[in-house]
Amino acid sequence: MRTPMHMSMGQEFVSVGVCMALNGRGDIFASYRSHAAFLAQTADTDRFFGELYGRINGIADGKGGSMHLAAPECGHILSSGVVASAIPAAVGAGYANERFNNDRIATVFFGDGALDAGVFWECINTASLFRLPILFVCEDNGFAVHTPRTERHAFNDVCDVVRKFKCAVYEDVSNDVESVYRLTLEATANARADRRPAFLNIKCYRYLEHVGINEDWMIGYRNKSELEFWLSRDSLKIQRERLLSSGLTEVQVVESESEIDRAIQLSVRNAAVAPAPTSELLYEGVFYAAH
């Protein structure tokens, strides 16, 4: 794999909770940290790993790579490698869904770095003004790349600011996938009933470096004690304990985990041996071609 990857480890529960609540009715727009959102929405590990490996069984024959995952036929509309840039397209999709009078909910994931961008505020304003039931989901991990919130924001709490718009605001600090699930159900129902967007600010923590698969404690912009705190309430751990205490046996949980692992390993193996795109594919797909 030769594509810059922004890993979701530690933050996956946000995408999973939201996408499970939307139950396939979400139109998902995501940032470059979109692996979790893509898999939560599509469960398509074959085309996912195909794209990361840059093989012809990928979503776009490897033309997109990690940062541009897009499978609109599965409800993952697009991902963008430029901070905040996916947000306006979600507003347009929200408008289209209203016009089509369907039951889909445009949902956009972004990090708290997007709050620094003007276009985020343009979109909160426009969606509120146009009364579009859209979910703005902020995966608030406290950093824009390596810069902490305190060095970027002249406000203490974004939720206080967004509340001034005609937009419902929800907050979650639980690190718990089921909490996000319930919050999304509530936000979606209210957004539809009240005809207004919802802003969900969900605290979370990025376990690995900004881009890449390694840890980055040696850089010094954050302290490893933070990780220990978040690991102690890791969302996977919370959910596993919940499943066991709800009556599932250890064997059943391990079986389920193994099944997922096998599916992923199979997709990885298939991708690794799939053919690379041939050179003439470079010029194909710049414009739409009927398939």
Partner 1 sequence: MRRISYCDALREATRQEMLRDPSVFVYGIGVNNHAKVFGTTEGLVEEFGSERCFDTPISEDAMTGFGLGAAIKGMRPIHVHIRVDFLILATNQLLNMVSNYIYSTGGRVKVPLVIRAVVGRGWGQGSQHSKSLFSYFTHIPGLKVIAPTTPYDAKGLLTAAIRDNNPVICLEHRWLYWAEDEVPEEPYEVPIGVGRVLLSGHDITVVALSWMNVEARLAATILHRRGVAVEIVDPRTLAPLDDELIVQSVNRTGRCLVADCDWINSGVSAEIAARVSERCFSRLKSPVRRIGFAHTPCPSVRELENEFYPGAHKIVRMIEDMLGLTAADLSHDDFFSHERRFKGPF
- Give the footprint of partner 1 on this chain (CB under 8 A): 27, 29, 59-61, 63-64, 68, 70-72, 77-78, 80-82, 85-97, 99-100, 106, 118-119, 122-123, 125-126, 129, 284-289, 291
Nearer CB in complex with partner 1: 71/177: 71
Nearer CB in complex with partner 1: 17/64: 64
H runs (alpha helix) in the chain: 12-22, 35-42, 45-53, 87-100, 118-129, 158-162, 177-194, 224-232, 235-245, 250-273
Answer for the pair 6, 33: CB distance below 8 angstroms, yes or no. yes
The distance of closest approach from Cβ of residue 78 to partner 1 in the complex, given in angstroms and rounded to an integer, is: 6
Contacts of 278 (CB under 8 A, 6+ apart): none
The distance of closest approach from Cβ of residue 31 to partner 1 in the complex, given in angstroms and rounded to an integer, is: 13
The distance of closest approach from Cβ of residue 85 to partner 1 in the complex, given in angstroms and rounded to an integer, is: 6
The distance of closest approach from Cβ of residue 183 to partner 1 in the complex, given in angstroms and rounded to an integer, is: 24
How far is C-alpha 276 from the chain's CA centre?
27
Nearer CB in complex with partner 1: 97/175: 97
Single out the residue of 157, 178, 127, 135 nearest to residue 13, CA to CA. 178
Nearer CB in complex with partner 1: 89/243: 89
Nearer CB in complex with partner 1: 15/85: 85
The distance of closest approach from Cβ of residue 46 to partner 1 in the complex, given in angstroms and rounded to an integer, is: 15
